[in-house]
Structure 1
Amino acid sequence: MPKRNSSDTKIYVLDTNILLHEPHAFLSFKEHDVVIPMTVLEELDYIKDSKKDVARDARVSIRAMEDLLHDATPEEMLAGVTMEGMGAGSTAPSGSLSIFTDLNMAETQQVFTSNENDNRIINVALHLQKTFAPQQVVLVTKDLNMRLKAKGAGLAHVEDYRTDQLITDIKYLSRGFHQFEGNFWDAVKSVDSRTEGRDTIHTVPKSMLPEAYVNEFLLDDSKHFAGLVEAVNQDSLEILDLGYERLMSRHAWGITPKNIGQAMALHALLDPHIDLVVLTGPAGSGKTLLALAAALEMVVERNMYDKIIVTRSTPEIAESIGFLPGTEEEKMLPWLAAITDSLEVLHKHDENTKGSMNYIMEKANIQYKSVNFMRGRSIQNSIVILDESQNLTASQLKTIITRCGEGTKIIVGGNLAQIDSNYLSAVTSGLTYLVEKFKYFSGSATINLDGVVRSRLASFAEENL
């Protein structure tokens, strides 16, 4: 049990899903104490040997706790082992980690009498709240129903895990562009312009846009100016003049943008200096089609990359793809139908659409891969298209992005309104985390596509359903 009984520190009781979401989460509570109920260890033990996507996360979390507790005696594990030295900087933990043997709790200490795992964990939190009052005891879980049950049972403090949550509301998520009211040049007090080859670069005071970041697009309402932030200095911004009409005239693999959002996305996708492009937006905004068109243009027409690797997460409702017949690529085809649909659209005017698709898939060396099998790989000189990424956690996205080797460009797409995961919301999705973490990285660009271009039916459904 935690050694300290002070109102200055808190006791955090962690649910299993927290350690699956972030395996090292127990190290994120600074000076506060962390309690892991035995039921949580049992659940991790069951999951680590399963075929679920989170099995690896369970194993990582168990190893991390074992590294901390391996020299502790049984008595010390129950009393609490200090986490000092397990991290660096201002966020380094200094509290203790303890294991609570809730399996042997007397019925007099329990509020819930049914033997469900969630009820056992809530019972632990309620028992600690009673034992250590007035010290604050907090149950941390991503399960919304469990939070409601805990509060209904009398637990005063219940929280979601927010250490990896960089914004409080999805409306604050970076869109990748900034729009000025009226004419852009009316807002400019002073400017220094220079020409580099065919490009014109304007240097303007940073006070115009204090929160600007590299590769952020700048637009105005007059539809005359379009620019891109090339560099952010201490008191100035360097803006590449793209020209609104020139930006709208960009094309790839026969596709031209239907709105300024698609034009900005196409510019970022075709820019060889940008290694990571994140496309967010509603269904029907053109994320997949633009990504595939740009990838084909760069692989087949320009010979900039060797192949295209297409991947996405398979929803937990069908977590095993092993029951589908064929090779890995054939098994993935149902999940990646959006890619084949887009490929069909790009070649619908060909004399033999199916023949063209087969030829291009071979010419561009398009490979369909499951996210489950991306671990351990090193992908060189390729374009990776990661579709439906809103269902991935930050640690899962890190696993995929760190696979990218020299000369590889990754395109991440997702719709934050279509999250299927039980434990993720728009603000806790790995896609949101990725956008906010990479917005100041000069090798990345984010574009929020906000116009549905499929049909008036799709537009109405997106706005009203």
Structure 2
Amino acid sequence: MVKAQDVDKKMYVLDTNVLLHEPLAYLSFQEHDVVVPMTVLEELDHIKDRKRDVSRDARIAIRGLEDILKDASPEQMLEGVQLPNTTGQNNSDNCGRLVIINDHLFPDNVSGLPGNENDHRIINCAIHLQQQHKLTKVVLVTKDINMRLKAKGAGLKFVEDYRTDQLIDDIKLLSSGFKKFQGDFWQSVGECSSEQQGRYTLHHIPKERIDDVFCNEYIVDETEHFAARVVGYDNQHITLKDLGVERLMHQQAWGVSPKNIYQGMALDALLDPEIELVILTGPAGCGKTLLALACALEMVIEKKVYDKVLVTRNTPEIAESIGFLPGTEEEKMAPWLAAITDTLEVLHKNDESPISSRNYIMEKANIQFKSVNFMRGRSIQNAVVILDESQNLTASQLKTIITRCGEGTKLICTGNLAQIDSNYLTPVTSGLTYLVERFKHFEGSATINLNGVVRSRLASFAEENL
């Protein structure tokens, strides 16, 4: 059985949902020991053959455990097998051990919970280890909030959520994609060197004037005249592309003009072919889908920069299923992507026949509705890809879609972190949050938070009071 060799070391007992959330999670605990109860292996075994995306994660977790334990004897598995060194340091003594424990051997009365549920068996295992190793901090790690409450109530001292994959602790810390200076920007900056590049002016600002910038971050101030975008920086200087509020507000895409500076910044990023990834976040009704689709039509039909528009989204249900949907892939996806067809009708509401105009534009712009499930293995060239409702996707699913985007493709991700329909995601663990934080230093990406856009009174009231 496991022996505590160092009182500073901890013993982490992993729940099944941690391994489904991140299959190689047991490598993230550095010098501490990781315990995987037999019940967890049984649950992984039951899940691995299901026809769902989570089954792939279960198989990855099982293969990873087998790679570490394949040469270990039963005695060594109970004693603990040293985990591989992932810290990059040469000292292997700082690595923890991976232990497989047969929790079925422990009496059910240790925790007082009924022993016929898998969650109770895992809690029972953690409490048994806590009693056996009084000098070691035994921690149960689970994504299940209810399980954390039950474990605390049953007498387990330490219970934690798995947060190693979270890039931020609070959604309020998520990058907005722009900085707003108080007062006049030029009064706070002072003198700087400038140069003309075509019809734009570039300003070289000392880096200490602006903290923690990244490429394609927008800079605005309270004068309602100055607006710029960061186009480069080094250890000494930040290069700003002077855009001006007036220029941003006079942009147009397929007849759509910005209502305020936030939509102006979004249009600037959407219409720039050099920016390969644009992330639009914000509440419902702030114009994310409208701006994305208008710019896609402008660049495909009018400017002919891209060849087609691909629209896709995850398909979670917020109510009961409507049952089997007949037809092709695009016909099955049509109910899920009604927001796109509704937006097309809005863009052509003044036409003599809006529905006929919508159908004509869908054919002329080669708008295709695709399911996320069939994106793997594809290679999308010279297209605008609109990924709607991306807050319901995991980081792994987003990676699958992004890696499908080939040469000349622009990806537009839209999402509202206040409306997550997935049972397994929260605002801080959503793939959209992960995408914003991971790609904010990528030179070909831009993020715009449209939270400041004025919406309808009804939508605003519902968001604040319901």
Q: TM-score normalised by the shorter chain: which range applies?
A: over 0.9
Deviations 1:7-33 (A, max 9, x none): 221111111111121121111111111
Aligned to 2:9: 9
Q: 2 CA distance for matches of 1:404 and 1:32? A: 39
CA contact 2:111–2:155 (8 Å) conserved in 1: no
Partner-residue secondary structure (3-state), 1:330: helix
- 1:67-78 matches, cutoff 5 A: 67-78=67-78
Aligned to 1:409: 410
Aligned to 1:303: 304
Q: Within the alignment, does 1:245 sit opposite 2:246 as a pair? A: yes
Aligned to 2:264: 263
Partner-residue secondary structure (3-state), 1:215: coil
Q: 2 CA distance for matches of 1:403 and 1:133? A: 51
Partner-residue secondary structure (3-state), 1:459: helix
Task: Give TM-score scaled by structure 2 length.
Answer: 0.95
Partner-residue secondary structure (3-state), 1:212: coil
- 1:171-250 matches, cutoff 5 A: 171-250=172-251
CA contact 2:384–2:412 (8 Å) conserved in 1: yes
Change (3 A) 1:159 1:378: same
Partner-residue secondary structure (3-state), 2:12: strand
Partner-residue secondary structure (3-state), 1:133: coil
Partner-residue secondary structure (3-state), 1:224: coil
Q: Within the alignment, does 1:28 sit opposite 2:22 as a pair? A: no
Query: Please, which moves more after superposition, 105-114 or 312-321?
Result: 312-321
Deviations 1:361-401 (A, max 9, x none): 12222121222222222222222111111122222222221
Q: Within the alignment, does 1:313 sit opposite 2:317 as a pair? A: no
- 1:323-338 matches, cutoff 5 A: 323-338=324-339
Q: 1 CA distance for matches of 2:408 and 2:295? A: 16
Structure 2 residue identity aligned to 1:94: C
Query: Please, which moves more after superposition, 413-422 or 219-228?
Result: 413-422
Structure 1 residue identity aligned to 2:27: L
Structure 2 residue identity aligned to 1:443: G
CA offset at residue 318 of structure 1?
A: 8.0
Indicate the percent of aligned positions where both proteins have the same amino acid: 67
Aligned to 1:384: 385
Aligned to 1:283: 284
Gaps of 5+ in 2: none
Q: 2 CA distance for matches of 1:311 and 1:210? A: 36
Structure 1 residue identity aligned to 2:135: P
- 1:354-373 matches, cutoff 5 A: 354-373=355-374
Aligned to 2:98: 97
Q: Within the alignment, does 1:448 sit opposite 2:449 as a pair? A: yes
Q: 2 CA distance for matches of 1:78 and 1:349? A: 73
Deviations 1:293-329 (A, max 9, x none): 1111111222222221111111166899982211121
Change (3 A) 1:228 1:90: farther
CA contact 2:262–2:453 (8 Å) conserved in 1: no
- Equivalenced residues, count: 465
Gaps of 5+ in 1: none
CA offset at residue 72 of structure 1?
A: 2.1
Q: 1 CA distance for matches of 2:435 and 2:88? A: 23
Q: 1 CA distance for matches of 2:208 and 2:240? A: 14
Partner-residue secondary structure (3-state), 2:53: coil
CA contact 1:226–1:242 (8 Å) conserved in 2: yes
Change (3 A) 1:87 1:339: farther
CA contact 1:379–1:403 (8 Å) conserved in 2: yes
CA contact 1:5–1:132 (8 Å) conserved in 2: no
Structure 1 residue identity aligned to 2:62: I
Query: Please, which moves more after superposition, 219-228 or 391-400?
Result: 391-400
Partner-residue secondary structure (3-state), 1:403: coil
Change (3 A) 1:3 1:343: farther
Aligned to 1:84: 84
Q: Within the alignment, does 1:52 sit opposite 2:71 as a pair? A: no
Change (3 A) 1:2 1:242: farther
Q: Within the alignment, does 1:435 sit opposite 2:436 as a pair? A: yes
Q: 2 CA distance for matches of 1:91 and 1:212? A: 36
Q: 2 CA distance for matches of 1:5 and 1:16? A: 26
Q: 1 CA distance for matches of 2:382 and 2:122? A: 48
CA contact 1:167–1:427 (8 Å) conserved in 2: yes
Partner-residue secondary structure (3-state), 1:45: helix
Partner-residue secondary structure (3-state), 2:357: helix
CA offset at residue 3 of structure 1?
A: 4.7
CA contact 2:142–2:160 (8 Å) conserved in 1: yes
Aligned to 1:42: 42
Aligned to 1:346: 347
Q: 1 CA distance for matches of 2:440 and 2:431? A: 14
- 1:108-147 matches, cutoff 5 A: 108-147=109-148
Q: 2 CA distance for matches of 1:403 and 1:137? A: 42
Q: 1 CA distance for matches of 2:73 and 2:453? A: 60
CA offset at residue 2 of structure 1?
A: 3.9
CA contact 1:253–1:296 (8 Å) conserved in 2: yes
CA contact 1:143–1:422 (8 Å) conserved in 2: no
